[in-house]
Structure 1
Amino acid sequence: MSDASDQLVAQSCTPCRGGVPPLDPEEAESYLAQTPGWSLHDQAHRIEQTYRFKNFAAAYEFVKRVAALSEAEGHHPDIGFGWGYATISLQTKKIRGLHQNDFILAAKINRLSNEGGSSSSA
């Protein structure tokens, strides 16, 4: 993991109550460089990554770990999964765009992925 990713992992998500502007595309690109495997979508209002697994059970276990992490961080992604994959999508819905929290959680999900033996594909 890179030093920049480590810096994000060391942080915690902060409550977002709205009223703050979402990251602009340049800011989002800067954070994206710190979260390998993630890609920008919806005109830089959302990030997403698909992780690959050897079977359904491994994907399910990863999703459970992501859910527990998300609860602990108080920041919740959209998750889709099936046999051999889990797709994680992040955006801060209260501001209808990206916030630093999305990238903090993305870095932490990458760490979970590295611990659990998945591979990622953008």
Structure 2
Amino acid sequence: MSNLTEQACEACRADAPKVSSAEQNELLQQVPSWTLVERNGEQQLERQFKLKNFVEALAFANKVGELAESENHHPAILVEYGKVTVNWWTHKIGGLHNNDFIMAARTDALHAS
């Protein structure tokens, strides 16, 4: 499997398959800071990023928003003082797709830069 940060999202249809449990386990090894959560019966990837203050948190959230818009794949983003929580999942399929792991890895790269 190639590096997730180097991959682009593929167009996703409502009938696209969710990642299997085995695929999830393999992909999670590449984004170890992310956790699986379930909200409203849908699996999601979630990570909280620590930042110095609200201004930095808002700037990071905007970078995540720009990344999301460039791939036409949009997360839930919660901005608070000194932290940003990001949740990735594929709305059309009501769960996790390979795209979500790609975007999680690319979000990590944004935070590291």
TM-score when normalising by structure 2: 0.92
3-state SS of paired residue (1:45): strand
1:79 aligns with 2:81: no
Q: How does 1:61-100 map to 2 (within 5 A)?
A: 61-100=59-98
Cα distance change of structure 1 residues 39 and 101 upon mapping to structure 2, 3 Å threshold: same
Identity %: 37
Question: What SS does structure 2 have at the residue aligned with 1:49?
Answer: strand
Unaligned segments of structure 2, at least 5 residues: none
Q: CA deviation at 1:21?
A: 2.0
2:7 to 11, 17, 42: 11
Q: Which structure is higher in helix share?
A: 1
CA RMSD of aligned residues (A): 1.6
For 1:44 and 1:9, the matched residues in 2 are separated by: 24
- Structure 1 gap segments, 5+ residues each: 116-122
CA distance in 2, matches of 1:35, 1:53: 19
Moved over 2 A (4+): none
Find the counterpart in structure 2 of residue 120 from structure 1.
none
1:44: Cα distance to partner? Answer: 7.7
Q: Distance in 2 between matches of 1:106 and 1:44?
A: 17
